[in-house]
């Protein structure tokens, strides 16, 4: 039997490490080419990694929760047929494309499946060979008489993607669950039981500490230590870069959005299913203002001659989204081409993907301007940190009833606060304030603004 060692690939954007979340196979199991073998979390997204080799799993290199370095062994696969000259091994996608061989798509999931095959891996042999034929995976016979041994020596057995998704959404680590299904398989009832009775097992990232572990500065007992990994580590590094490199300034403006609320109510009454959301309307006004003041949609790029301001033919609108894995900013590509109704659909789908950890690295890094709706958390205003390398971020506070002067009379109006943080190297306060006022005016008189869009 020959062996093939599959190293952890660079999953995109030059990442150097990934956290192993869950094994999808176990040692001794027979797998096929392109079969997902592990879930890993990078600083950008949660992805399934497929195997470029078929055969028997000999070794799983790593345990759930560990941080693996790109280029280090991930899995070792043995294949008795691999030594045959007629079946020299798996080709990567780059070699197959160069040889003109069609590679079938096996999944529509952008964050998993065959789109990740290749990774720069290569098999030996001469040119002109074809991909090894895939073999159906042979299920391991359940050992019902030794469920404890199986659970202790193998990866958690979660067959249903619905069960795995339920665990993810409730921050339940399946590696700490005992499966009540046949052969130790983890079923929905096991996850629901963990949700109803949360224990330390539902917090895998926390490191257990001794009761006498005390903080030297405060003198208090430390109850847990949580390493900075994955998205949280990425967010921390991004914020430090922004605060260190960008001389930012902040401007804010209170806006009477009573007419905007009334317009949204009328649109919803006419057709609830297609009515644009408030955030989509604000996004539409934002993209219109960015077209008027394109410097707010630019970025600074370093080259051999120094720094230059780069302008774009289009707007990739980022949306700050709070997810179970931390703060991420997925972006809608060419948002300026979309109507408010279309933006409603795009925002809903993209935020849902972000919360499920299914956004691709490109979706999380392609933004040119960020819109941050922190009003949903009950916050009036905030001096948001710019999502470098962008040059500005617009924040929207909660909408609340406030006394407002209208035609010389005080009356209750719906008011929100807009906050703009901008890079003072790229633009000055006059342009930034003009941009902010443009968005505010559109929100204050939305019908007139929409007529001009």
* Residues 128 and 96 sit within 8 Å (Cβ to Cβ): no
Query: H or E element: which one contains 288?
Result: helix 278-292
Catalytic-labelled residue, pool 176, 424, 444, 445: 424
Compute the distance between CA of residue 358 and CA of residue 204 in angstroms, rounded to an integer.
20
Please determine whether the domains at 2-116 and 231-452 fall in the same fold group of CATH: no
Compute the distance between CA of residue 314 and CA of residue 237 in angstroms, rounded to an integer.
27
The residues that bridge with 248 in the sheet, in sequence order, are 423
Indicate the DSSP class of residue 60: E
pLDDT tens, residue by residue, 333-342: 999 999 999 9
pLDDT tens, residue by residue, 412-428: 999 999 999 999 999 99
The C-alpha R_g of the chain, in whole angstroms, comes to 26
Domain limits, the chain: 2-116, 142-227, 231-452
Query: H or E element: which one contains 114?
Result: none
* Residues 120 and 10 sit within 8 Å (Cβ to Cβ): yes
Tens place of pLDDT per residue across the chain (453 aa):
688 899 888 765 556 778 888 899 999 999 988 788 998 877 656 778 888 888 999 999 988 888 888 888 999 998 765 444 444 444 433 333 333 333 333 334 433 333 333 333 333 333 333 333 334 344 444 444 444 433 333 445 666 656 776 777 777 888 788 888 766 778 777 887 887 764 444 444 555 555 568 888 888 888 888 777 666 676 677 778 777 788 889 999 999 999 999 999 999 999 888 899 999 999 999 999 999 999 999 998 888 888 899 999 999 999 998 888 778 899 999 999 999 999 999 999 999 998 888 888 888 889 999 999 999 889 898 888 898 889 999 999 999 999 999 999 999 999 999 999 999 999 999 999 999 999 999 999 998 888 776
Topology of domain 2-116 in CATH is OB fold (Dihydrolipoamide Acetyltransferase, E2P) (2.40.50)
Both tokens of 324, joined, read 């179970």
Q: Tokens 């399946």 appear where?
A: 174
What CATH number labels 231-452?
3.30.559.10
Compute the distance between CA of residue 124 and CA of residue 3 in angstroms, rounded to an integer.
13
pTM, two decimal places: 0.56
Compute the distance between CA of residue 207 and CA of residue 74 in angstroms, rounded to an integer.
24
Active site residue 424: yes
Say whether the peptide bond before residue 255 is cis (omega within 30 degrees of 0). Answer: no
Compute the distance between CA of residue 373 and CA of residue 364 in angstroms, rounded to an integer.
17
């Amino acid at each position: 039997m020959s062996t093939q060692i599959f190293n952890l690939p660079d999953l995109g954007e030059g990442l150097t490490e990934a956290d192993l979340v869950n094994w999808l196979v176990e040692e001794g199991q027979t797998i096929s080419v392109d079969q997902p073998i592990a879930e890993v979390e990078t600083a950008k997204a949660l992805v399934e990694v497929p195997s470029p080799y078929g055969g028997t799993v000999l070794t799983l290199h790593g345990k759930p929760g560990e941080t693996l370095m790109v280029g280090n062994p991930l899995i070792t696969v043995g294949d008795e047929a691999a030594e045959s000259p007629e079946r020299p091994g798996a080709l990567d996608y780059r070699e197959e494309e160069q040889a003109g061989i069609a590679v079938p798509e096996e999944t529509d999931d952008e964050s998993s499946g065959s789109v990740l095959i290749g990774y720069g891996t290569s098999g030996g042999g001469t040119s002109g060979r074809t991909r090894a034929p895939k073999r159906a995976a042979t299920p391991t016979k359940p050992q019902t008489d030794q469920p404890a041994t199986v659970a202790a020596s193998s990866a958690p057995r979660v067959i249903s993607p619905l069960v795995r998704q339920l665990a993810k959404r409730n921050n339940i680590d399946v590696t700490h669950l005992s499966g009540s299904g046949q052969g130790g398989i983890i079923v929905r009832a096991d996850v629901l039981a963990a949700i109803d009775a949360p224990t330390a097992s539902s917090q895998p990232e926390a490191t257990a500490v001794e009761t006498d572990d005390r903080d030297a500065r405060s003198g208090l007992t430390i109850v847990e230590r949580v390493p900075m990994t994955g998205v949280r580590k990425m967010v921390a590094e991004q914020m430090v870069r922004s605060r260190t490199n960008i001389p930012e300034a902040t401007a804010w403006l209170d806006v009477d959005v009573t007419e905007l609320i009334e317009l949204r109510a009328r649109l919803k009454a006419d057709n609830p299913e297609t009515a644009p959301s408030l955030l989509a309307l604000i996004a539409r006004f934002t993209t219109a203002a960015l077209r008027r003041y394109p410097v707010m949609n630019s970025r600074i790029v370093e080259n051999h001659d120094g720094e230059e301001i780069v302008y774009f033919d289009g707007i990739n609108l980022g949306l700050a989204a709070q997810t179970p894995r931390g703060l991420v900013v997925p972006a809608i590509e060419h948002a300026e081409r979309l109507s408010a109704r279309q933006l409603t659909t795009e925002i809903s789908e993209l935020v849902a993907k972000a919360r499920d950890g299914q956004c691709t690295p490109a979706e999380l890094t392609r933004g040119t301007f960020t819109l941050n709706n922190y009003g949903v958390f009950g916050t009036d205003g905030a001096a948001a940190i710019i999502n470098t390398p962008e040059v500005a971020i617009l924040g929207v506070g909660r909408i609340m009833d406030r006394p407002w002067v209208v035609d010389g009379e005080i009356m209750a109006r719906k008011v929100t606060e807009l906050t703009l943080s901008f890079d003072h190297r790229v633009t000055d306060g006059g342009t930034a304030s003009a941009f902010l006022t443009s968005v505010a005016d559109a929100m204050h008189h939305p019908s007139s603004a929409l007529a001009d869009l």
